[in-house]
């Protein structure tokens, strides 16, 4: 299963270790997936409470090496998901990334 994620588009949600920590997800293409690390090319999204615009999306694509111990969960996205046109919508107290042709993926609750 580990090797099958290489080359796939994913949303990675980071673990929260304390209540005040901001929500952070990373969306992109898996470059390499090992038992200890995930290497992904994509963009990060951070949700911050109390801001006029609480959603902050990276302007440029970057490569992250993420320790698997920091990953809360991984969701597979369609292979044609466009990281250059990420759309976020608020429904109630939750934020979602729109996914064309499938269910939207949750960023988290504010």
Residue-wise pLDDT for 75-106, tens only, equals: 999 999 999 999 999 888 888 999 998 899 98
Number of domains present in the structure of the chain? 1
| 94-97 vs 105-109, strand pairing mode | antiparallel
Strand ranges (DSSP E) for the chain? 9-14, 23-33, 37-47, 55-57, 62-67, 71-76, 88-91, 94-97, 105-109
Residue listed under structure tokens 């729109």: 98
Q: How do residues 42-53 score in pLDDT, each as one tens digit?
A: 999 988 877 777
CATH of the domain at 8: 2.30.30.100
For the residues 4-9, what does the mean pLDDT come to?
Answer: 92
Cα 77 off chain centre by? 10
Checking if the pLDDT of 74 tops 90, the result is yes
**Residues of the domain holding 24:** 3-109
pLDDT for res 42: 97
pTM over 0.85: yes
């Amino acid at each position: 299963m580990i090797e099958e994620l290489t080359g796939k588009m994913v949303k990675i949600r980071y673990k929260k270790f304390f209540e005040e920590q901001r929500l952070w997800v990373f969306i992109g293409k898996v470059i390499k997936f090992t038992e200890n690390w995930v290497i992904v090319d994509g963009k990060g999204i951070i949700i911050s409470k109390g801001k006029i615009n609480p959603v902050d999306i990276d302007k440029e694509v970057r490569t992250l090496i993420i320790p698997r111990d920091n990953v809360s969960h991984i969701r597979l996205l369609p292979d044609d998901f466009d990281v250059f046109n990420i759309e976020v919508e608020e429904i109630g107290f939750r934020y979602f990334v729109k996914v064309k042709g499938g269910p939207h993926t949750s960023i988290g609750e504010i």
